[in-house]
Structure 1
Amino acid sequence: MQWIDRLRGPGWMGNLLAIVAGGLTTLALAPFDLWPLGLASIALLYQVLQPLTPRQAALRGWCWGLGLFASGVSWVYISIHVHGYASPVLAGLLTGLFVAGLALVIALTAWLWAGWLRPIKAGWWSCIGFACLWVAQEIFRGWFLTGFPWLYQGYMHTDTWLSGFAPVGGVWLLSLLTVLTACLLAEPAVWKRLPQAACASALLLAIWLGGLGLRHIEWTQPAGDPLSVALIQADIPQSRKWDPDHIQHTLSLYRDMSYAQGPVDLIVWPETAIPVLQTQAQGFADAMAANFAEQGTTLITGIPVDNYDTGELRIYNGIMVAGSAGNHYLKNKLVPFGEYVPMEQVLRGLIAFFDLPMSSFSRGPAVQAPLEAAGYQLAPFICYEAVYPDFAARLAAKSELLITISNDSWFGESIGPLQHLQMARMRAMESGRWMIRGTNNGVTALIDHQGRITASIPQFEQLALNGWVQPREGLGPYLRWRSWPLSLAVLVVLLACVIRRRRYRQPT
Structure 2
Amino acid sequence: MKQSSQSSWWRYLGALIAGALYPLAFAPLNWWFLALISIAAFWLLLKQQASRCAAKIGFCYGFGLFGVGISWVYVSINTFGNASPPLAVFLTLLFIAILSLLFAFLAWAHRRFGAKFSLSGQLIAFSLLWLALDLFQSYSFISFPWLFVGYSQTGQAFAGIGSLLGVHGLTLYLVPLAILLAEALANRRINSAAMLGFIVYAVIGLGLSWWGISGKIEQKGALTVALVQPNTDQHQKWNPEYFAPIVNGLLQQTENYWGADLVVWPEAAIPAMDSQVDFLLDDLSTKAQESGSTFITGIPLRPDPEASQIYYAGIKMLGQQQVDYRKQQLVPFGEYVPMQSLFRGLIDFFDLPMSSFTPGDAKQSGFETDKAYLIPAICYEIAFSNLIQRLSSKSETAGGKAKPKAILTISNDTWFGTSWGPLQHFQMAQMRAIENGLPVIRGTNNGITALINHYGQVIDQEPRFVTTELAGLMPLTQRYTIFGQFGYWPLAVICLILVLTLGLNSFLRSRPR
> 1:98 aligns to what SS in structure 2?
helix
Indicate the larger mover: 74-83 or 390-399.
Answer: 390-399
- Among residues 35, 38, 42, which one is paired with 1:41 in the alignment? 38
Q: 1:467 aligns with which of 452, 463, 472?
A: 472
Report how far residue 362 of structure 1 moved: 0.8
2:290 counterpart of 1:285: no
Distance of 2:158 and 2:199 partners within structure 1: 16
- Matched residue SS, 1:404: strand
Q: Does 1:456 align with 2:461?
A: yes
Distance 2:15 2:490 in 1: 32
- CA shift digits 1:356-399 (9 cap, x unpaired): 11111111111211112343211100000000111111112234
- Quote the residue 1:276 is aligned against: 272
Retained in 1: the 8 A contact 2:406–2:476?
yes
2:336 maps to what in 1? 340
Residue of structure 1 in register with 2:48 after alignment: 51
Quote how far apart the aligned CAs of 1:471 are: 2.7
1:201 — aligned with what?
199
User: 2:128, 2:5 → 1: CA distance?
Assistant: 22
> In the aligned structure 1, how far is the partner of 2:191 from the partner of 2:36?
23
Quote the residue 1:19 is aligned against.
16
Q: Which runs of 5+ in 2 are unaligned?
A: 396-404
Compared CA separation, residues 267 and 311, structure 1 to 2 (3 A) = closer
Say whether 1:162 aligns with 2:163.
Answer: no
Contact 1:117–1:501, Cα closer than 8 Å, also in 2: no
Deviation digits for residues 256-307 of structure 1, max 9, x if unmatched? 1000235311110000001111111122112112113222211100000002
Q: What is the aligned counterpart of 2:413 among 408, 413, 417?
A: 408
User: What corresponds to 2:57 in structure 1?
Assistant: 60
Does the C-alpha gap of structure 1 residues 12 and 449 become closer, same or farther in structure 2, counting only changes over 3 Å? same
The counterpart of 2:296, out of the listed 287, 290, 300, is 300
What is the match of residue 123 of structure 2? 127
Shift of 1:493: 1.9
CA spacing shift, 1:279–1:497, aligned 2, 3 Å: same
Answer whether contact 1:8 1:14 (CA < 8 A) is retained: no
Contact persistence 1:383–1:406 (CA under 8 A): yes
2:94 to 94, 97, 105: 97
Query: Residue 11 of structure 1 aligns to a residue in which SS?
Result: helix
- Cα deviation 1:186-237 (Å, max 9, x = unaligned): 11499977666545432322212442x23651344233x2001010000001
**C-alpha spacing 1:230/1:118, structure 2 compared with 1 (3 Å):** farther
* Inter-partner Cα distance in structure 1 for 2:507 and 2:52: 19
The answer to whether the Cα contact below 8 Å between 1:383 and 1:404 also exists between their aligned partners in 2 is: yes
Q: Which moved more, 1:300-309 or 1:329-338?
A: 300-309
Residue 498 of structure 1 and its aligned partner are, at CA, apart by 5.3
AA at the equivalent of 2:245: H
Aligned pairs for 1:419-498 (under 5 A) are 419-472=424-477, 475-494=480-499, 496-497=501-502
* Equivalent pair of 1:8/1:50 in contact (CA under 8 Å): no
The equivalent of 2:399 in structure 1 is none
Runs of at least 5 residues in structure 1 that lack an aligned partner in the other structure: none
Q: Please give the alpha-carbon distance, in whole angstroms, between the structure 1 residues aligned to 2:320 and 2:359.
A: 22
Distance 1:277 1:446 in 2: 28
Task: Determine the C-alpha separation between the residues in 1 that align with 2:369 and 2:420.
Answer: 33
- Describe the SS at the equivalent of 1:461: coil
Match of 1:316 in 2: 312
AA at the equivalent of 1:11: S
Q: Which amino acid letter does the alignment assign opposite residue 107 of structure 2?
A: A
Contact 2:258 2:288 in 1 (8 A): no
More displaced stretch, 152-161 vs 6-15: 6-15
- Looking at structure 2, the residues matched to 471 and 217 of structure 1 have their Cα atoms a distance apart, in angstroms, of 17
Instruction: Quickly say closer, same or farther: Cα 1:151–1:116, change in 2 above 3 A.
Output: same
Instruction: Kindly indicate whether the alpha-carbon contact (under 8 Å) linking 1:377 and 1:398 is maintained by their aligned counterparts in 2.
Output: no
Give the equivalent residue in structure 2 for 1:87.
Answer: 84
- Please name the residue that 2:75 is paired with: 78
Equivalence for 1:265: 261
Aligned counterparts of 2:491 and 2:379: Cα–Cα separation in 1? 26
Matches within 5 A, 1:109-124: 109-122=106-119, 124=120
Structure 2 CA distance for partners of 1:435 and 1:418, relative to 1, 3 Å: same
Identity %: 38
TM-score with structure 2 setting the length: 0.92
Q: Is the 8 A contact 1:272 1:301 kept in 2?
A: yes
Q: Secondary structure at the match of 2:237?
A: coil
Q: How many angstroms apart in 1 are the aligned matches of 2:65 and 2:390?
A: 29
Check whether the contact 2:21–2:38 (CA below 8 A) recurs between aligned residues.
yes
1:38-60 per-position Cα deviation (integer Å, ceiling 9, x unaligned): 11001001111121122111111
| Count of aligned positions | 501
1:70 Cα offset (Å): 0.6
Task: Assess, with a 3 A threshold, how the Cα gap between structure 1 residues 91 and 195 changes in structure 2: closer, same or farther.
Answer: closer
Alignment partner of 1:142 out of 128, 138, 150: 138
Q: Is the CA contact (8 Å cut-off) linking 2:162 and 2:212 kept in structure 1? A: no
Q: Is the CA contact (8 Å cut-off) linking 2:452 and 2:459 kept in structure 1?
A: yes
In 2 relative to 1, CA 195–317 (structure 1 residues): closer, same or farther, beyond 3 Å? closer
8 Å CA contact retained: 2:436, 2:481: yes
Give yes or no for contact 1:165–1:174 (8 Å, CA) kept in 2. yes
